[in-house]
Amino acid sequence: MATRRSGHGFSRSDRVSEQIRRELADLLRFHLKDPRIAAKLTLVTVTDVEISPDYAHAKVFYTSMADADANVAIAEGLKRSAGFLRRELGKRIRIHQTPELHFVYDASVEHGTRLSHLIDQAVESDRKLNDENE
């Protein structure tokens, strides 16, 4: 997540991370032609990028609403596409070193959806209990 530095806005690494996130989202959506993964990537969202202090490595967090089997294929496809994506990033972003990309599945959206569903169930259960007791 982005951290603010006192009075100076966001740090350079935060701005670079956000630019990488935006560019990767565009590359995944419109420029990746791998037939094993291209159709599944419409279900992928890049949620965050954490870049190492030396800009050598970037953890790219992504989420997907696809089923478990498709997520395995997506993870493998992203891993295989990392070199192409890195090369394309190097053409789009002007930094001294284009980072090596490491894709990490971000389950937070999935957990949030599950928790929201559980909350909805609890509210409905309480509503039924209140209706029965009145």
Task: Name residue 118's amino acid.
Answer: L
Of all residues in the chain, what percent carry a pLDDT higher than 70?
88
> What is the mean predicted confidence (pLDDT) over 75-95?
92
pLDDT of 89 reads 95
What is the Cα Rg of the chain in Å? Answer: 19
CATH code matching the domain that covers 4-107, chosen among 3.40.50.2000, 3.40.50.300, 3.40.50.720, 3.30.300.20: 3.30.300.20
**Structure confidence by residue, pLDDT tens digits, 23-47:** 999 998 888 877 766 666 667 899 9
**Mean confidence (pLDDT) of the chain:** 85
As a whole number of angstroms, the distance between CA 79 and CA 73 comes to 10
